[in-house]
């Protein structure tokens, strides 16, 4: 028996090479984005019911916890930068009533340790957080109390990876900041070197405070560094000539508007939450307010918007926001958040097939167009002659009911009404025809 013929691909679709056969549908492809705008962040926060007065405090506490545990475990600052960016991206997508902010902070630090090759076990991170919160109850990572929180942290790692889209790119402004400050204050001058050390201490701590805002999610590395340099020079009243060369933003691969936006983000942080920052307690409130007024006047004179790239016509209607309360405010080492069955499962259920993360947008479009040719419905138009029997026409003329010609001589017709007996017995008293028929013997 001869083998059945192999199916061939129509010429209109085009055949793929034998080494790359057409497979199942590629599923849902997602292209992660490293940066987001202020407008996009606000829309995401409104979507999850963001309570600004409460959630800002949780954001600051989460970053502070990451920094404290990082210093306790003697991890490099790049691990802190990575964990803070992952924390912001996760908090923008999931509200605090689904996941405790402390659990999320420690889980993002656990993921950042893997991403930056400074690997720490989940129990080590949980133990450090517990010892910082309860120094009188010192424990070791091998304690059984960390078994359940460790499993939850490992499970939360998957949600964090999906939230960031497996995009591990994070900027590290501290390294570039140190290089530029060394260029501003050369070492051959002792006075300049002493001033440079003071400038570096303030600027370096300010780069840590910068991650307590959403600026690292919105701006690139050069923008963050130039904003920190300019704000530090304004607060410390440094010689403007030292910072003049760094105002030429095109030479540093950025623009003036994002730098001013980042400066205002830091000034808002220092005016609203000075005690939750490293530099805030060292500054004079009046000096901070004067610098903020100066930057706002500069924006007004240059006719710039507060947020770079803001579109007034793209702003949708304000959504109703509900107060979000975390499930627990205790230590994550003793009480873990329950895995949320809310938005994370809803979003996964809404997508069909496997979710894939692609980093090259052009390749994703080419793959989508290539696969779509094998799953699109094609139709052909054919003309078929069909003989239909002709129905016999009705011999009765159109009208209402059965028409009778019996009484046409009298101008009367039967249009479906019941018949009347025209005789003397049933004739109507006023029927002249009935009377005439009676008289003639009918």
pLDDT tens digits along 136-174: 988 898 889 999 999 999 999 989 998 888 888 888 999
Q: Would you say residue 359 has pLDDT above 80?
A: no
Residue-level pLDDT at 409 = 46
The domain segmentation of the chain, as residue ranges, is 26-170, 173-314
Residue position matching structure tokens 């159109």: 398
Residue-level pLDDT at 386 = 86
pLDDT tens digits along 50-59: 777 778 888 8
pTM value is 0.69
Residue-level pLDDT at 302 = 84
The residue-averaged pLDDT of 257-282 equals: 92
Beta strands in 199-285, from DSSP E residues, in sequence order:
none
Q: Which residues contact 85 (CB under 8 A, 6 or more apart)?
A: 170, 211, 216, 217
Residue-level pLDDT at 164 = 86
Higher pLDDT: 175 or 321? It is 175
CATH of domain 26-170: 1.10.472.10
Higher pLDDT: 263 or 329? It is 263
C-alpha to C-alpha distances, 15 to 12, 18, 24, nearest whole angstrom: 9, 9, 16
Question: What does the DSSP assignment read for 98-131?
Answer: TS-HHHHHHHHHHHHHHHTT----HHHHHHHHHH
Q: Would you say residue 370 has pLDDT above 90?
A: no
């Amino acid at each position: 028996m001869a083998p059945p013929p192999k199916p061939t691909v129509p010429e209109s679709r085009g055949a793929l090479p034998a080494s790359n056969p057409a497979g199942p549908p590629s599923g849902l492809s997602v292209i992660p984005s490293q940066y987001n705008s202020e407008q996009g962040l606000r829309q995401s926060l409104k979507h999850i019911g963001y309570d600004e007065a409460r959630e800002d405090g949780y954001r600051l506490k989460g970053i502070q916890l990451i920094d404290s545990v990082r210093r306790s475990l003697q991890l490099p600052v790049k691990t802190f930068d990575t964990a803070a960016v992952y924390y912001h991206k996760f908090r923008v997508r999931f509200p605090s009533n689904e996941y405790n902010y402390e659990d999320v902070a420690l889980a993002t630090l656990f993921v950042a340790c893997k991403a930056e090759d400074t690997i720490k076990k989940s129990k080590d991170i949980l133990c450090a957080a517990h010892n910082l919160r309860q120094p009188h109850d010192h424990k070791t990572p091998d304690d059984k109390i960390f078994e359940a929180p460790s499993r939850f942290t490992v499970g939360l790692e998957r949600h964090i990876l999906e939230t960031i889209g497996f995009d591990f790119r994070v900027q590290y402004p501290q390294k570039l900041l140190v290089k530029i400050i060394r260029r501003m204050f050369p070492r051959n001058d002792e006075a300049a070197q002493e001033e440079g050390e003071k400038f570096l201490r303030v600027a370096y701590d300010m780069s840590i405070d910068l991650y307590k805002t959403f600026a690292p999610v919105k701006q690139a590395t050069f923008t963050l560094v130039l904003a920190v340099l300019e704000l530090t020079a304004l607060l410390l009243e440094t010689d403007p000539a030292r910072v003049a060369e760094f105002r030429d933003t095109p030479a540093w691969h950025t623009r003036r508007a994002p730098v001013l936006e980042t400066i205002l983000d830091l000034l808002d942080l220092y005016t609203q939450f000075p005690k939750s920052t490293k530099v805030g307690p060292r500054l004079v409130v009046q000096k901070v307010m004067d610098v903020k007024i100066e930057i706002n006047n500069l924006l007004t004179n240059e006719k710039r918007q507060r947020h770079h790239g803001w579109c007034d016509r793209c702003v949708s209607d304000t959504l109703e926001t509900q107060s979000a309360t975390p499930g627990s405010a205790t230590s994550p080492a003793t009480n873990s958040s329950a895995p949320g069955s809310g938005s994370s499962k809803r979003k996964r259920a809404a997508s069909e097939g496997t979710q894939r993360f692609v980093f090259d947008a052009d390749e994703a479009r080419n793959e989508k167009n290539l696969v779509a040719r094998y799953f699109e419905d094609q139709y052909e138009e054919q003309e078929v002659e069909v003989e239909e029997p002709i129905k016999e026409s009705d011999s009765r003329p159109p009208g209402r009911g059965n028409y009778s010609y019996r009484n046409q001589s009298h101008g009367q017709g039967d249009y479906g009404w019941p018949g009347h007996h025209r005789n003397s017995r049933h004739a109507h008293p006023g029927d002249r025809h009935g009377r005439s028929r009676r008289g003639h013997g009918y």
